Structure 1
Amino acid sequence: MNQPRQTASYLSKRLTQAGLRPVSHFGQNFLIDLNLVDLIARSAEIRRTDVVLEVGTGVGSLTTRLADAAGAVLSIEIDTNLHGLAQDELRGRENVRLLLGDALKNKNSLRPEIMENVRDAYERLGEEARFLLVANLPYNIATPLISNLLHETPTPDVMVVTIQKELGDRMLAQPSTKDYGALSVWVQSLCDVSLVRILPPTVFWPRPKVHSAIIRLDLIPERRASFADLEYFHQMVRALFFHRRKFLRSVVISAMKGRLDKTQIDEVLSQLGHGENARTEELTVQQIQELVEALRQKEIAVGGAQA
């Protein structure tokens, strides 16, 4: 399907004609290089049996490409005026459903209607269906959206997203680097993470003050299935990195306050070979997984003994 040339002047004219302008608090930065819009869609390797979620419909430029490839597309836009423009752009595409509103119910959960629609489409497309997130994400919701989706059922098999480069750096970070933290461990514990492309501010309108990145996350089902309690793991990882510069022992004592005493915590750390000078930011993803599971098991054992 032929697409109009999406230059900054084209978008500006189109929005102006509709009496609109980008709204900064919604994180609206339109990707004006259509080659990069194509790259986002192409990098997701979409199949006809896929359910694709897009957050941030904008004027529908990426949505049309998703609709051409996927079995079903669910796209959500918070801006009422843009939602209206996208409806005009996507009229007649029966495999697209547009939602108006915020993708997040709150910081820790998605709007329920999103996953209800995803599950309906997932069941309709049959056994070969996959769930994908493909989006030029508004900067201000990227972290909670991705983190929350990793808790959902179904969990996205693939996510291809445009986000702040700084956020991409954190997802890709290795131990003992400045970007390594709770998000690095959480994402890498469940997914393979790869950098598709770094994007300069010039490919957006209006231009953001930072570089962006297209990141691809591939869910590894075996990793997700290996967790006895995924919610416990996620909460503990965030607690362990809350004071990332402190020694590991003091961080664990703080995180387990009222649940394990210092002697019990020292037993766990000793068994795992973590010395008194160890810090959370030095531990590999696997070491953090082993630590959290050991703490969980110790907590269960102590609780059972007290009962």
Structure 2
Amino acid sequence: MTEHRTRKRFGQHFLHDRNLVDRLVRTLGLQPGDTLVEIGPGRGALTYPLLEEMPHLHVVELDRDLIALLRQENSPERLTIHESDALRFDFTTLKPADGKLRVVGNLPYNISTPLIFHLLAQSTAISDMTFMLQKEVVDRLTASPGTRDWGRLSIMVQYHCQADYLFFVPPGAFSPPPKVDSAVVRLIPHVSPPYPAKDEAHLRRLVTQAFTQRRKAIRNGLKSLISAEQFEALGIDPGLRPDQLGVAEYVALANASTPAAENPETPDHD
């Protein structure tokens, strides 16, 4: 393939370790009937091994030079290229009538968190997502309550899906090597949330507010939203720190304090 220079503004770090690529492909357990979308194919380090396993692949890419290289080397029957910013792309348009999408990618570090939330907003069209990300982000996505990494990102992602840490990826697997470690994570959206929030936007606000005072008792951060009586009625100890409460407790607090419960006519413009 023609040499392509990495672009800092796209956060490009290209994967070149074939053993790690093969391991990632194996973890997908691909079936011929799967509708697979790769985000950010780059130079094709993951794209070509995927095409060895699949009759057809969708890719979403923003870099025009990389798109030109991919078009040059692949037929449209096998590789459908969507020239778009993944943060704006409507993935639901690719959902097959009789199934859901599978999504994979080595995500640029600078957009990984907003991109995950963009995809979760379209999760009814997605069966699973497998991503190579900065290890620090994967640790937060897959954290448990009471651990150092448990926080807003953990809670809101795990509200929507099951998050599993798959394996570690060293900096040397990329060109140029990033200054951070990476890891592979799998996100499986819940068909319906185990703990449904009455108002998800309110849940987001409540979680954000709780973590403004991460090291203090939960009653401090939520005193404007939750009364002592409500904590007692819910059976939640107001003396716990925000990182000691799980998804179920945060949803219970949000549902007890959601404005929509008092005034269903009020629209939410968050």
Matched to 1:21, the amino acid is: R
Please identify which structure carries the higher helix content.
Answer: 1
Instruction: Indicate how the Cα distance of structure 1 residues 213 and 102 shifts in structure 2: closer, same or farther if over 3 A, else same.
Output: same
TM-score (norm 1): 0.77
Instruction: Indicate how the Cα distance of structure 1 residues 276 and 72 shifts in structure 2: closer, same or farther if over 3 A, else same.
Output: same
Whose radius of gyration is greater, 1 or 2? 1
Aligned CA RMSD, in angstroms, stands at: 2.5
Matched to 1:96, the amino acid is: L
Instruction: Indicate how the Cα distance of structure 1 residues 176 and 300 shifts in structure 2: closer, same or farther if over 3 A, else same.
Output: same
Asked if 1:138 corresponds to 2:114, the answer is no
Instruction: Indicate how the Cα distance of structure 1 residues 50 and 236 shifts in structure 2: closer, same or farther if over 3 A, else same.
Output: farther
Residue in structure 2 matched with residue 175 of structure 1 by the alignment: 145
What secondary structure, in the 3-state scheme, does the structure 1 residue paired with 2:29 have?
Answer: coil
Distance across 2 between alignment mates of 1:194 and 1:267: 36
Asked if 1:291 corresponds to 2:223, the answer is no
What secondary structure, in the 3-state scheme, does the structure 2 residue paired with 1:241 have?
Answer: helix
Q: How many residues align?
A: 265
Contact 1:28 1:138 in 2 (8 A): yes
- Any residues of structure 2 matched to 1:134-173 within 5 Å, and which? 134-173=104-143
What secondary structure, in the 3-state scheme, does the structure 2 residue paired with 1:221 have?
Answer: coil
Distance across 2 between alignment mates of 1:274 and 1:266: 10
Matched to 1:88, the amino acid is: Q
| 1:163-199: CA deviation from partner (whole Å, max 9, x where unpaired) | 0000011011112222110111122223222222101
Asked if 1:99 corresponds to 2:72, the answer is no
Distance across 2 between alignment mates of 1:224 and 1:83: 40
Asked if 1:279 corresponds to 2:241, the answer is yes
Contact 2:107 2:133 in 1 (8 A): yes
Q: CA deviation at 1:286?
A: 1.8
Q: CA deviation at 1:155?
A: 4.2
What secondary structure, in the 3-state scheme, does the structure 1 residue paired with 2:222 have?
Answer: helix
Residue in structure 1 matched with residue 229 of structure 2 by the alignment: 267
Contact 1:72 1:121 in 2 (8 A): no
Distance across 2 between alignment mates of 1:59 and 1:88: 12
Q: CA deviation at 1:161?
A: 0.4
Asked if 1:245 corresponds to 2:215, the answer is yes
Distance across 2 between alignment mates of 1:275 and 1:246: 13
Q: Of residues 19, 40, 43 in structure 2, which corresponds to 1:56?
A: 40
Instruction: Indicate how the Cα distance of structure 1 residues 92 and 290 shifts in structure 2: closer, same or farther if over 3 A, else same.
Output: same
Residue in structure 2 matched with residue 121 of structure 1 by the alignment: 94
- Any residues of structure 2 matched to 1:61-76 within 5 Å, and which? 61-70=45-54, 73-76=57-60
Query: Which is worse superposed, 244-253 or 171-180?
Result: 244-253
Asked if 1:41 corresponds to 2:22, the answer is no
Contact 1:49 1:130 in 2 (8 A): no
TM-score (norm 2): 0.86
Query: Between the two proteins, what is the percent identity of the paired residues?
Result: 33
Instruction: Indicate how the Cα distance of structure 1 residues 241 and 99 shifts in structure 2: closer, same or farther if over 3 A, else same.
Output: same
Residue in structure 2 matched with residue 82 of structure 1 by the alignment: 66
Query: Which is worse superposed, 239-248 or 144-153?
Result: 239-248
